[in-house]
Structures are given as C-alpha cells and as structure tokens.
Amino acid sequence: MSEVTYTVADAVATITLSAPERRNALSVEMSRELIDAAQAAGQDHAVGAVVVTGGPHFCAGAVRAVLADTGLDPVEDEAYRNLETVYRAFTTIGDLAVPTVAAVRGAAVGAGLNLALATDLRIVSTSARLLPGFAQIGIHPGGGHFTLLGRVAGREAAAAMGLFGEEVDGARAVQLGLAWAAHDDADVEAEAHALAARVAKDPELARRLVRSFRRETAPGGIPWDVAVELERSPQMWSLRRKHGPRADQSDRAERAEPHGR
C-alpha cells in the first residue's frame, strides 16, 4: 500500500506522509513515493502551491535501517544510492517550481526536520517538536542540515539545535523564525491550506513569484540593484498579462478605474 497520498483541490496539491506506525520515518520506498508526488505537482501547471503534511506525526527522520546499512559500507553502491534517495525526498520538495508549505504536527526529527525546512513556509502546532536528533543517536547531520537551519533561523539557532541538540516547540519555532505561525493541532492543516490557496489561485504567477523569491533570498543574498533587474522581467510579464492586448474586458475596466497607486 502507498505510504504517500497525493490530492489536488483548488489548485493546491497536498502531499501526505502516511506511515503512522513508524511516525512517518522515511524508508527508501516512501522517499521514492514522496519524490514522485512532488514531481507530479511540479509538472501539473494547474497546481499553484503544495502543502506537505504527515497528519499527527510529521516525520520522525529516516528509517534507522537505512542509516545502519549505509554505515556498514558507506560506498557500497546500493547503500549509497538508498541514502541519496532519502536526501532527494526533501531536496525535490525544496526545488519545486511552486510555493510550498509544511503543516507540522507532532515531531519533525532529523531528515523530517530537513523536509520541513526545505519548504518555503511552515505552519506548526503549538505542541510540535522540532529537533535535529542526529548527534543524539551518535551520527553527524546530513542532507545540508546546518545550511537549512542557518538560512531559516540564523547561526545562533543553528548552533543551539544542530550542535547542542536543543529541541524547539511550535511557539518557540515562531519566535526563532523557524515557522510562520503556531496553531492548535486541529487547525494546522486548515491554516496551511488557507495560505497555500491564497497564492495558488493564480498558478502561473505563483511559479514566477517563487522563482524570484528563492533567487533573491538564497544564502548570501544578492545586491538590491541586481534584485531590481532580476524582478523586472517577471514583473513586466505580469503587467502585460494583466493589462496587455490579451487582457479580458474586466481587467480593462479595472485598469480604467483610479487606484491611487
């Protein structure tokens, strides 16, 4: 049976991890299913945003057997590729051509935390548990974990969590900038979908927006004057689409009205 479900409604694709018996720990097969679901969303131009969720247990990391098999012989081809597949589960989400939101309840641990941090925005439950967990089981973080923590919450939080093993709940995650908002468990998915639907109502624009957003907010950033030029092309595209020769009559009427801006 599939351990990842994929649905689309109102231009929002929802990818749900569904292996509750192991708290959605990522197996190799589950990772492949997650990659397939993400690619389906990216290739469907009617999709304008993606929500990633795990229900009551977001993701407890990678299945321990994957790590143990890799440890036996890290350069053995199958073991190497299996761990690479787990990494691709969240790097594929991070590279999607549409805005992404993680709806996090329960624990996001290790690779599961990487998956949450790979999205553009996180909505969490107040009782959520965000923790690296790598050093606590005697291994070094993987999947670019320090970079993900640092770019979202800064060096101090990355040190506290990644080096010293600090655990963060949902309310603290918002304070640190690891999440946008924290809600009661029952409201997390609805709030995440409401945000996703807001941008997804115009899928083509959503894809242009997120491309510029990621370029301009990438680690290291870019100078403001470069950002001005970077945004010029997609903004001109959007203005032409809204007000140009192919705009419909309602848009033409809107253009004729005073807006004060």
Summarised one tens digit per residue, pLDDT across range 175-207 is 999 999 999 999 999 999 999 999 999 999 999
Residue of 83 and 40 predicted with greater confidence: 40
Summarised one tens digit per residue, pLDDT across range 36-56 is 999 999 999 999 999 999 999
CB 52 within 8 A of CB 41: no
Please provide the size of the chain in residues: 261
- Quote the DSSP letter at residue 160: I
CB 90 within 8 A of CB 109: no
CATH class of 4-200: alpha beta
With tokens 């945003």, the residue in question is 49
CB 106 within 8 A of CB 57: yes
- 41's tokens: 């969303």
pTM: 0.87
Please state the rounded mean pLDDT for residues 67-95. 81
Q: Taking the mean position of all CA atoms in its chain, how far away is CA 168?
A: 18
Summarised one tens digit per residue, pLDDT across range 126-145 is 999 999 988 888 888 888 89
